[in-house]
Amino acid sequence: MTEKKTPVKRKPRKTKSKGLGDTIDKVTEATGIKAVVKAVAGDDCGCQERKDKLNEMFPYASAHRMDDRQKTIWQNVVAPARRKGYLTAIEGQALRALFLDFGITKPNWNRCGSCATKSLDEMTAIYDASCEKS
């Protein structure tokens, strides 16, 4: 005698947060705050505008995408420096310029080992995200 298997209901796939606004949106939805706000303020509570503005102001690195020019700079100038383990002044300037292209400012920018490694890791994440198939 065989039992009927009930199909497993799958949760909808969650999209990655592009920035702080998406994360706050997910948290407020999970905690029920979003439903309360919509009940009190109505459907047009300004949440979408706030979410978009926060995503713009505080984007996550993986939300950035390099264009062809930026990929060329990464591949020919910065990535080789990553492989050798240190940045020359020119390579550091190229890396900083890439960050500035994305509107990411680095306070106290310098070429110290741990700072450079952290910055290179961030830019590697952006490069990798840019190379993923959409």
Q: Are residues 45 and 80 in the same domain?
A: no
- pLDDT value for 70: 92
Assigned domain for 12 exists: no
Q: For 18-69, what is each residue's pLDDT tens digit?
A: 778 888 888 888 888 888 888 888 878 788 888 888 877 777 655 678 899 9
Assigned domain for 11 exists: no
Give the burial class of 115: count Cβ atoms within 10 A of its Cβ; 0-12 exposed, 13-18 middle, 19 or more buried: middle
Assigned domain for 14 exists: no
* Sign of the C-alpha dihedral computed for residues 51, 52, 57 and 58 taken in this order: positive
Using the 3D structure, point to which of 39, 59, 79 is the last residue of a domain. Answer: 59
Q: Are residues 75 and 127 in the same domain?
A: yes
Assigned domain for 89 exists: yes
What distance in Å separates the CA atoms of residue 48 and residue 40, rounded to the nearest whole number?
Answer: 16
The total number of structural domains that make up the chain? 2
Assigned domain for 7 exists: no
- Which of 80 and 14 is assigned the larger pLDDT? 80
**Range list of H helices, the chain:** 20-31, 33-41, 47-57, 68-73, 79-84, 89-101, 113-131
What distance in Å separates the CA atoms of residue 41 and residue 94, rounded to the nearest whole number?
Answer: 47
Q: Are residues 68 and 109 in the same domain?
A: yes
- Please, are residues 25 and 47 in contact by the beta-carbon 8 Å criterion? yes
Q: Are residues 46 and 77 in the same domain?
A: no
Domain, as residue range, for 124: 63-131
**Full-model pTM:** 0.53
In which band, very low, low, confident or very high, does the pLDDT at 122 lie, cut at 50, 70 and 90? confident
